[in-house]
Structures are given as structure tokens and as C-alpha cells.
Amino acid sequence: MSVLQRLVKPTTHKGKKILLKKEPQIIEGTKAPIFLKGRKTSEKVRRVLKDIYDLKKPDGQMLHRKNDITIFEDATPVESLCKKHDSSLFMLGSHSKKRPDNLVVGRTFNNSILDMVELEIKDYEGLREFAASKVTMGIKPCLLFNGPQWEQSEEYRQLKSIFIDFFHREEVEAVRLQGLEHTISFNVTPDGSICLRSYKVLLKKSGQRTPRVELEEIGPRIDFALRRTKLPTPDLMKEACKKPKELKITKKKNISTDKLGSTHGRIHMGKQEINKIQTRKFKGLKKQKVKGGRVEKKKISV
């Protein structure tokens, strides 16, 4: 008796996600962060979240529901939301009497918190305060980090890494000059403030082949102050930055390339014993020896 197996198609969104579960990718695509709101948010925090979300469009997702989350005490709700929306980056905005105008930006690895930094919004001017024309949605921005503090402190070094991951888009091998339309600048002042500025790149005529470059501020303009941080352990960071074996370039031995691009190879051969090599025998080549008045003929091989 044979039983025919019937193919059951998923009828719910949850069933489709289970059947179409993504496998680990060798080449990672564009990261799409999620934007969250705490149990209480101020108008300034809501506008900052909206403006940064507009800079990140179309990569990203704004969640409008309020969440009762105290992330430094319990990060489980954020980890669950990141797993649900298939995101490894998050930005959480909240407001309280103890920590007003608060913003937490962080990353996850293997559905667990990797690192996060808490920032205070000190000064803010939104996108709508600037009358300049905006850039094209989805354009890849040029990130600038000004100030030696980005490399002198572990907290600022980790925050720089988070900002690079947050505003990163697809990998490109070459950039043309007309493709540089948007620049985001991060500057650390002597008092420790972190200034975020957004500029549109304008190419003006200069009378030469290279155009004259001008920057026009388009917003938002935000000043942050560093609060709490959660840094990863060196072993966890090393595991998170580990590249798959398929992307590692293995160096081939005895192969080199010169300045002209020609490939040269070196072959190592064993010791050759020429005397034992068997060659063809020719009848015309004979060796004669005189022995006792008699000529002795002897064949030789070549």
C-alpha cells in the first residue's frame, strides 16, 4: 500500500517565516536597524528617531508601539525584537527624570547583545529646520570622524564602530566623484560632546578639471553626551568579526606576479641522474677498440 505525501503550503505569516527561514549568509547584505520607543519618550527623542530613520531609508524599520524596556537591566525584549525583525542593529529612545532625552544605540550577535552605548541628546535641530534641498533616498553617505579622541578611548572607539555599522550600506569597489552626494560628520569636542552634522556635497565649476567642492548643511544637527556603555569582551568581539572560510584568500605557493601583471610560477624537481637515463640506440654509432691486432667493435648508446 503506497501513501501519497501531500505538500502543505503555509497559510499564516508565522508558518511562512519558519519554512522560509534564512540560512547563514557568506556575504552579508545591507544592515537594516530597528528604531524603538521606550515606555515614555519626549518630543525631542521622537524627532531624533524620525530624522535618523529618514537618513537610513529605505534600510530600516520604525516600530511605533511603546515598549517597557530598561535595556541595561534586562536586554531580553530588545534581543527578541531584533530576532523577530531579522535585524542586528537597534536604536532605542526614552525619556525619564533620571535620564532625560536618552538614546541607546547598539548591536547584536547570535541574537544576543554585543555592545551598546547610551547617549544624551543635548542640542538638536531637525531636518525641517533646514531649508536646503535633501539628498536622494538610499544614497551611500561618506562618513567623517574628526578628532583624536576617536582612537584614544575604548568607549569612543567602540561608538565609532557602531556608527560605521549603523550607516553602512552595500560594498562598492569604486566611487565616482558625482556619486559623493551626502556626507555625515562626527566630531568630538574637547569637553567630550559628540557632534553629528549632515551635509550635501555640491560640485562647483573651478575652471579646472577638478571641480570646487562645497558643503551645504541639510540637517539634522545633533549634539550628544556619552552616558553608560556596555563593551564586548575581546573573545566575543573576535568571534563576531571572524570571516567565513569561503572569503579567506589562500596564498598559492611558488606563484608570483610582477609589476606588469604577468604571473610566474616556480617548479621544484628532484635530483636527476643523467647517467641512468635510457636513450635510443643507434647502430651507426659504434666504438672501436684495437686489442691484439684485432679491431673490436662495441655498440654504444646515446
* pLDDT tens string 63-88: 999 999 999 999 999 999 999 998 99
Q: What is the mean pLDDT of residues 20-39?
A: 76
Higher pLDDT, 77 or 302: 77
What distance separates the 2 farthest-apart alpha carbons in the chain?
127
pLDDT digits (tens, 9 = 90+) for 102-120: 999 999 998 899 999 999 9
Residue 5 has pLDDT above 50, yes or no: no
Which position has the higher pLDDT, 3 or 193?
193
Cβ pair 166, 33 in contact under 8 A: yes
Distance separating alpha carbons of residues 274 and 271, to the nearest angstrom: 9
Q: Is the pLDDT reported for residue 22 higher than 60?
A: no
Q: Which segment of 154-168, 179-193, 231-245, 280-294 scores lowest on mean pLDDT?
A: 280-294
Average pLDDT over residues 166-175: 84
| Strand intervals (E) in the chain | 34-37, 61-66, 89-94, 102-109, 112-125, 142-146, 182-188, 194-204, 212-217, 221-230, 255-257, 263-265, 281-291, 294-301
Phi, psi of 8 (to 5 degrees): -100, 120
Query: Residue 69, Cβ neighbours under 10 Å: how many?
Result: 20
Question: Locate cell 534564512: which residue?
Answer: 22
Helix, strand, or coil (residue 159): helix
Set of cell numbers at residue 94: 526614552
DSSP run (H or E) holding 164: helix 154-167
Grid cell in block for residue 4: 501519497
Q: Give one DSSP letter per residue of 65-89, joined into a string.
A: EE----TTT--HHHHHHHHHTT-SE
Contact present, 183 and 198 (Cβ < 8 Å): yes
pLDDT higher than threshold 50 for residue 149: yes
Residue-range domain boundaries for the chain: 31-168+177-238
pLDDT band at 9 (very low <50, low <70, confident <90, very high): low
Question: How many Cβ atoms are within 10 Å of 268's Cβ, its own excluded?
Answer: 6
Give the pLDDT of residue 18.
Answer: 59
114-128, 234-248, 281-295: least confidently modelled range: 281-295
**DSSP, res 275:** G
Q: What per-residue confidence (pLDDT) applies to 73?
A: 93
Q: Which position has the higher pLDDT, 258 or 25? A: 258
Specify the CATH number of the domain 31-168+177-238: 3.40.50.10480
* pLDDT at 8 exceeding the cut of 70: no
